[in-house]
Amino acid sequence: MSTNQITSATTAYQTTEPYKPASATKEADTKAASSTKTGDTSAVVYEKNSTTKAAHNNTKNKNYVTLSKQNQAIVAQLKADANQRSQQLRSLVESMISKQNHTFNMSQLTDSKMYEMLRTGQLAVSPEIRAQAQKDIADDGYWGVEQTSERLFSFAKAISGGDTSKAETLIKAMEKGFRQATKSWGDTLPSICQKTLDTATEKIRNWAKENSTESDDMTDAAQDAFENQATNSALSK
């Protein structure tokens, strides 16, 4: 791979500052505020499923909670960050494929195919990309156990509206996300993913001690986190 090719590939794979739950942006607050009813500035309704009014009325207590503007901003920030990171990793893999396999039809690159190629070592990883991946899954890295579990914990607290009674429900949803990530990955996830699940679970339970319905969004957030960890782990080898 030429120097220009390496530079092009690594451009799509750059780290950003660690997520800071206290730094909700004005833009997120503005979006959250616009979702409230006129005169009601205390909370917004966060619906985890796009259901009809009839279904919504029948499952009101199960399918949504009322979130404060601050929690709404945290959820929005975490989702946006996860989507950006996932796209960066996918762009990186696409760049690697295009440089190593000119006959591959990129329109056929499903997530499962991408994970298979990474998992089975079908792609040659440059020293620069490997070094960056190793940095990202290190103890103090963005996809390391501590930072990833902290993001999952922050998401859990925000989506629960601060209700500690939902702790075990959120843990079950996170475990479901872990299982779904394992299925998507196509094999046992790297050990770092299990460590992250255990650490996030401990944080949620400790939070519940200090101070039920399953959340699909919590499941999705956990699945994305574990899949991204697995991808970085594969790239780091």
pLDDT at 184: 95
The pTM is what? 0.65
Position 38 pLDDT exceeds 60:
no
pLDDT tens profile 89-148: 899 999 999 989 888 888 889 999 999 999 999 999 999 999 999 999 999 999 999 999
- Show Cβ contacts of residue 15 under 8 Å, excluding neighbours closer than 6 positions: 132, 135, 136, 141, 142
pLDDT at 26: 42
pLDDT band for position 215 (50/70/90)?
A: low
pLDDT band for position 31 (50/70/90)?
A: very low
**In terms of C-beta density within 10 A (0-12 exposed, 13-18 middle, 19 or more buried), how is residue 186 classed?**
middle
Higher pLDDT, 33 or 221: 221
pLDDT at 121: 92
Higher pLDDT, 43 or 193: 193
Position 27 pLDDT exceeds 80:
no
pLDDT at 61: 41
Q: Are 68 and 42 spatial neighbours (Cβ–Cβ below 8 Å)?
A: yes
pLDDT at 71: 86
pLDDT at 66: 66
Share the mean pLDDT of the chain: 77
